Chain A
Amino acid sequence: MAGSRPLSTRWTLLFSLVTLLGCLVIPGVTVKHENFKKCSQSGFCKRNRAYADDAAAKGSAWSSPYELDSVSIQFKDGQLQGTILKSISAEEKVKLPLVVSFLESGVARVIVDEEKRLTGEIEPRHNSQARKERYNEAEKWVLVGGLELSKSATLDSESEIGITRVLYGPENGYQAIIRHSPFGIEFQRDGQTHVQLNNKGYLNMEHWRPKVDAAEGDREQNSGSQEDESTWWEETFGGNTDSKPRGPESVGLDITFTGYSHVFGIPEHADSLSLRETRGGSGNHEEPYRMYNSDVFEYELNSPMTLYGAIPLMQAHRPGSTVGVFWLNAAETWVDIVKSTSSPNPLSLGVESKTDTQSHWFSESGQIDLFVFLGPTPRDISKTYGELTGYTQLPQHFAIAYHQCRWNYVTDEDVKDVDRNFDKYQIPYDVIWLDIEYLDDRKYFTWDPLTFPNPIAMEEQLSDSERKLVVIIDPHIKNQDKYTISEELKSKNLATRNKDGEIYEGWCWPGSSHWIDCFNPESLKWWAGLFKYDKFKGTLSNVFIWNDMNEPSVFNGPETTMPKDNLHYGNWEHRDIHNLNGITFVNATYGAMLERRKGELRRPFVLTRSYYAGAQRMAAMWTGDNQATWEHLAMSLPMVLNNGISGFPFAGADVGGFFHNPSKDLLTRWYQTGIWYPFFRAHAHIDTRRREPYLIGEPHRSIIAQAIRLRYQLLPAWYTAFHEASVNGTPIVRPQFYVHPSDEAGFAIDDQLYLGSTGILTKPVVSEGATTVDIYLADEEKYYDYFDYTVYQGAGKRHEVSAPLEKVPVLMQGGHVIPRKDRPRRSSGLMKWDPYTLVVVLDKNGEADGTLYVDDGETFDYERGAYIHRRFHFHGSTLSSEDIGAKGPKTVDYLKSMASVRVERVVVIDPPKEWQEKATVTVIEDGAKTASTAAIEYHAQPDGKAAYAVVKNPNIGIGKTWRIEF
């Protein structure tokens, strides 16, 4: 009957639904585009692109409405101040205060603000409590120095009318040419223009305006104004509406790199190192590069889509010159890139075509605060950028060894079991990790009483072999009564608030949650208290912290994050500070880890997923939730390299791929690649098969073990590279252009890398089934296979290196001394007293150079001289070790403690043939009464492979000054 039929259809439907639930398919592997905005869905992005399109369309007829009021210009103590006037109608002009600072380091800083907002003469809508100013506190979180104004910068008195010239930089060899109307700045080095601001006329500062609710009739009359107001006052995306209390307020600027065809930087994107054009066309992107820190599920490759972190530092490179800009703005930011090549004049011989790269930057709110670096080398950018934002924290030594992670090790017994298994199979590891399942009901600072009943015993077992534990602590706090942390967060009013000023509630792992607002200084104090051993029960001193989901990730929020009209400490809108949010949380954790126990001061270790410029001072990062595919393996290299040149080199990708199960070959190749990540951690999703390296079976197990031991063998070189990063900002693994800045053919290469200054060059295999790789050599030096000393030579071309599954393709460039520790141990902590092997790779002239940095790997005593810093130099027929450290109060004691650590072996590669006859070498150690001798053995090799000589037991202390005469 009629009444019964619908019932049966429903039944059928329900049954099919149940069936469907029963046979769930493997989740798709593509990013959910609908969850994230395209430029056209982000009001200010669309407006700024349209503005640029409009200007470009008008061509020479376009005139930027911004003019520097010549009368307002003042120059004093290396700083130029003035007012830019923006004409919004014939009679109305908006005042935009301008400050250009010329810094002692040779960096120029340009700040443009808006007077009305600065002085509070605006009226936010909806009675919003939001601050009226443009956000001007980013520097508080990001900058740590380098702001001394130049004493020598001077105004050039010979400037023509309408132009102000400032001479600055080393020997005043730099020049900023400030054009008044339309406003623009050209930066020159040695008489040549490198960087131009607003020469395309895309400068755009959306000034304050009240919302005019025009009547229907008025709209007709106002048709003269062609501006599209639809995204000015309210924007809705994915069911969330942004109330935008201050209306349109974006800032935009075009920055041209004159004569540069490669730009790098602005992580984090899953894309090539050399950035692509973004205005369409073959091989180009359609969308601008976006920086809006987000938890992007199953992110796609070769994409300008935003990811978890952002560093708005871009560098442009051409043979012999590198320049850069740093856009200090924490709001959502997009960057368009267009390259234009001017055809050479066919009549003028020898003049080549010239390529300019135009970048167009725009942020949703805040000031324009731009730093311009004039290089001229990549190292100079690293150095000066590091002076401003800080250098990489010298990590604890264990942190650069191998990390074993999984979501999740399910019980404390499970952890102990994994620990025992690594020893059983004699594979070294230093750190084991716990993801969110260790928690009691997803409440941070607790342990699941059923699965982790005895965390202390677990940590003690790890400690027995100097191993560490890292546990996850995220910024979302479960919203639950009787959970002390949640109650304190609320009662102390330390949580982020919604637009109405009430505690914001959203969803994350624990379900309903609140978010700690680390912009609040009180939050830092409270947070520090939570990590003390008596407060965070179940932790010993070998426990460290992983900060995840700090974009922040909010499962039910717009674009999986917080609403932009949420309010933070000081009533700054979330919109203003979004990209900083991650590092404020890391900052809180870093501070807390310093204060765990009075008198116990050790370097913290924190891993973060979200980051911004400055994160390098506090944390390591990883590239988030990648996938177990060959493509993701390949992409990990440009991503890690890009982070390295962007000042945050302590980076890595999940070895093995987070989602899905890697094949045995893929896992093996991933380990062989992962050992070259500064941050070397294997991780896996909860739904994947177990894949600890001992489980894989032979021959893969041995191959992976070899790779991990290779990393451990080279730890002295890695630690030295970290030290270099901590004082010079240099990347730990370096791309081709960084090492060979004049070799244009190598600029776009991002699949091979150099380890620090060691001359070690590797090109990991990242494609299935490959048994060879083509390594590109930029220079005429000889390169030697790391394992059998096969010689490769020939600049500017690719060399085929065999790479069967069991082999990592690694070469050593001639001219380096590489420090190693060859004895395998259970963990890096147990290698502390082991002797060194020095590998001397002679260059064309028979010379070699290298450095070694050693300290206790744990405390801050190195700041007081407790370290060894040596330079090894081979010249003529002498290898010498020279002290390049500075003495401090703790130097003597430290050297004494290290007195037993020696060099056990020196391997010289490609030595002179005459050494064949040598049986001994003379060893002279400072302070020894007489010279001694050590045995040397020369070994010839078949053609194509270099001979080598081995000095046995020279009996020299690593901390000593000595020389070996061959």
Chain B
Amino acid sequence: MILSQGSLFFVSLAACSTVVAASKDGSARPRGVGPEFAKFYKDVDTFTCISHPAIQIPVSAVNDDYCDCPDGSDEPGTSACAHLSRHSPRSVADRPGNSDLDLTLSLPGFYCKNKGHKPAYVPFQRVNDGICDYDLCCDGSDEWARVGGKKCEDKCKEIGKAWRKNEETKQKSMTTALKKKKELLVDAGRQQKEVEENIQRLEVEIHGQEIKLKNLEADLEDIETQERSKMVKGKKGGKVHVLAQLAKDRVEELRTALSEVRKERDETRSRVKELEEILSKFKVEYNPNFNDEGVKRAVRGWEEYAARGTSDGLENAARDRDLDEIVKPDDDQSGVNWEHWESEEDGCEVDAVYQLAAYLPPSLLNFIEDKVLAIRGFLEKNGVLPPKDEDSASESKAVTEARDAVNAARKSIDDMKNQIKDHKEDLDTDYGVGSIFRALKDVCIQKDAGEYTYEHCFFDQTKQIPKKGGPTSRMGSFERIGSVTIDELNESGEIVPEQRISLEYAKGQTCWNGPARSTTVVLQCGEENEILKVAEDEKCIYSMLVNTPAACPGGEADIPSSGPKDEL
């Protein structure tokens, strides 16, 4: 066809419209009509709009590149009715005489026969737009009018071949995937059994431990009674001696505490220093043009803080030398000469006891008392140190050992009870149909995307690991199995919602200026456990598309029902 002359073109267009395509069985259908709709195009004189049988037009108006039917059924082979969609602005002239008419297409699209491949519908809006839509229409028939001189060759042979090969691989892969799924189901059943067995075992053990504990408690009581009588008698005589011994122990204890506290102080100091370095770097590097109020407030706060002096000014070498002196063991040169006290006669005992403090170097006494109380209190308050129990009175080795044994036994029972609790919780956790995901628990997969490597550990957590260096971000810890609706395209290019299993991970690291990170892992059937895509749907809210055989349909029936939940 020569298209140089406009009018000629229209003539030929009209000719085209009546040209019918022959199909295998010999019956004829207008261009773009799929076999399932052939029956509507049989009449040789009139055409009846498919969804609106009241509207009839002459057959010459079928495929005349002008939209007559409100459902577009008169233009199966052109783009003339492509505007009939809820996505188009609608004016009354689009639905003459019936302005309330809902405009939807009755045909799925332009039918490409794709001989040598499989037939498909291409959306009407792609017909004669000058682009060869080979992914849907490998025979190029969607560009039959050759607008702008565009010619789309028939590529069905090669595309079909490639597709078939691909299908074959896919089929194989699906078979493998299903096989893997079955293995997973078996695994999951076994693991579940293990957990149940563990619970039984632990229950037996606890019983044994409880008997043991009772015996130990009885032992402890005996020993304590014995010890008490010993104490009353006394060993070496005088109260001063006893007190001196106690004081010595106490000082020793305080001394140890002092070095511990110093160590903690030094650690804390270095942490403050680290934080200060972070903040001063932050002050230099932040982007003032961002005018982020929060950032600016932080910078201002830091400046005020820094103006009052930083941790650099806190180190006091002189005091540290004092402390060094204090922590040295006592002897006759420094600290307290305990020997003197230990050999002291009883006499002014009571006074002496109360004066004991006076014999301690005042710096030691004050410092230790103050430091221990203030700093420890502060650190505890801020959660740096766990609160410490009240100092227990000194007691004999035997008692201590007995008590330790009792405590150990109790702890062991508690531990086992906790284990049982964990196991039971685990059994109560939803691991999906046939508990299949139990088999994937703690399986980790990774994917490189952009500047990060993403990691997904099933039922544990998701992570973002920067390639350029820097800390890894937790993108969420496992919360639950959920489901999401994904818009999929069906054969005729319509959006159809599809349900998918999802794994929800939440409460990850909090984002700069945003929420705590969370991830929705959407599962789809695939041969391997594999992250396909990672997207940040909105600030710090991620989604991962993950392939796993566990999400493949079917397979559950073949596995002998372990019925774990019924047994419990």
Contact = CB atoms under 8 A, between A and B. Distances in A.
B partners with A: yes
A952 B316 CA distance: 97
Interface string A28-54: 100010010000000000000000000
A613 to B, nearest CB: 27
Given A8-B378, A17-B302, A410-B536, A939 B89 contact: no
Interface stretch (B128-136, B407-415, B520-528): B128-136
A823 B83 CA distance: 5
A830 B366 contact: no
Nearest to A934: B66
A417 B147 CA distance: 28
A148 B292 CA distance: 52
Given A10-B305, A11-B272, A902-B10, A823 B80 contact: yes
Contacts of B378: 8, 11
A702 B86 contact: yes
Contacts of B536: 410
Interface stretch (B1-9, B416-424, B456-464): B1-9
B489 A411 contact: no
A448 B7 CA distance: 53
Contacts of A297: 289-291
Nearest to A831: B129
Contacts of B272: 10-11, 14
B495 interface: yes
Interface string A819-839: 000111110001111110000
Chain B interface size, as a band, is: 35 or more
A113 interface: no
Interface in A1-39: 1, 3-8, 10-11, 13-15, 17-18, 20-22, 24-25, 27-28, 32, 35
A899 B148 CA distance: 10
B93 A948 contact: yes
Contacts of A897: 148
Given A27-B293, A709-B88, A832-B148, A687 B514 contact: yes
A20 B489 CA distance: 47
Interface residues of A, number: 97
B99 A688 contact: no
A351 interface: no
A465 interface: yes
- The residue in A425, A426, A808 that gathers the most chain B C-beta atoms within 10 A of its C-beta is A426
Contact of B85 (A426, A688, A941, A945): A426
Interface string B435-451: 00000000000000111
Nearest to A714: B89
Given A10-B272, A830-B129, A955-B7, A20 B297 contact: yes
B7 A824 contact: no
B275 A18 contact: yes
B89 A787 contact: yes
A466 B371 CA distance: 75
A187 interface: no
A896 interface: yes
Interface string A774-818: 000000000000111100000000000000000010000000000
A904 B87 contact: no
Nearest to B540: A687
Contacts of B253: none
Given A11-B272, A690-B537, A833-B130, A710 B89 contact: yes
A560 B289 CA distance: 8
B9 A899 contact: yes
A133 interface: no
A557 B468 CA distance: 31
A645 to B, nearest CB: 28
Nearest to A821: B83
Contacts, number: 220
Interface in A550-591: 553, 555-556, 560
Contacts of B319: 3
A508 B289 CA distance: 8
Contact of B87 (A7, A411, A824): A824
Interface in B523-542: 533, 535-539
A905 interface: yes
A788 B4 CA distance: 38
A410 B10 contact: no
Interface in B365-388: 366-367, 370-371, 374-375, 378, 382
B513 interface: yes
- The residue in A5, A24, A451, A508 that gathers the most chain B C-beta atoms within 10 A of its C-beta is A24
A24 B291 CA distance: 13
Contact of A17 (B288, B298, B510, B514): B298
Interface string B265-309: 000100010010001000000011111111101100110010010
Contacts of B145: 900
A464 interface: yes
Contacts of A705: 86-88
A823 B156 CA distance: 28
Contacts of A713: 89
B564 interface: no
B294 A27 contact: yes
B288 A556 contact: yes
Contacts of A11: 268, 272, 378, 382
Contact of B129 (A6, A17, A298, A826): A826
B305 A17 contact: yes
A789 B92 contact: yes
Contacts of A465: 131
Contact of B91 (A425, A702, A786): A786
Contacts of A10: 272, 305, 308, 311
B6 A830 contact: no
A277 to B, nearest CB: 31
Contacts of B287: 555
A897 B374 CA distance: 90
A17 B301 contact: yes
A377 interface: no
Given A28-B293, A904-B80, A687 B125 contact: no
A832 B130 contact: yes
Given A1-B367, A425-B495, A902-B6, A825 B292 contact: no
B65 interface: yes
Contact of B451 (A426, A451, A789): A451
Interface string A292-320: 00010110000000000000000000000
Interface string A828-853: 00111111000000000000000000
- The residue in A5, A20, A297, A834 that gathers the most chain B C-beta atoms within 10 A of its C-beta is A834
A434 to B, nearest CB: 14
Contacts of B275: 14, 18
Contacts of B148: 832-833, 897
A249 interface: no
A450 interface: yes
Contact of B147 (A466, A833, A955): A833
B66 A904 contact: yes
Nearest to B468: A450
A953 interface: yes
B301 A690 contact: no
Contacts of A98: none
B103 to A, nearest CB: 12
Contact of B64 (A7, A835, A939, A953): A953
10 contacts: A17-B302, A298-B291, A413-B449, A425-B495, A426-B85, A448-B450, A702-B86, A899-B5, A939-B92, A959-B6
Given A297-B290, A413-B449, 4 more contacts: A1-B370, A826-B125, A831-B129, A959-B6
Shortest 3 CB-CB contacts between residues of A and residues of B = A24-B294, A689-B538, A833-B147
Interface of A: 1, 3-8, 10-11, 13-15, 17-18, 20-22, 24-25, 27-28, 32, 35, 295, 297-298, 410-411, 413-414, 417, 424-427, 448, 450-451, 464-466, 507-508, 553, 555-556, 560, 686-690, 702, 705-707, 709-710, 713, 786-789, 808, 822-826, 830-835, 896-897, 899-900, 902, 904-905, 907, 925, 928, 937, 939, 941, 945, 948, 950, 952-953, 955, 957, 959-960
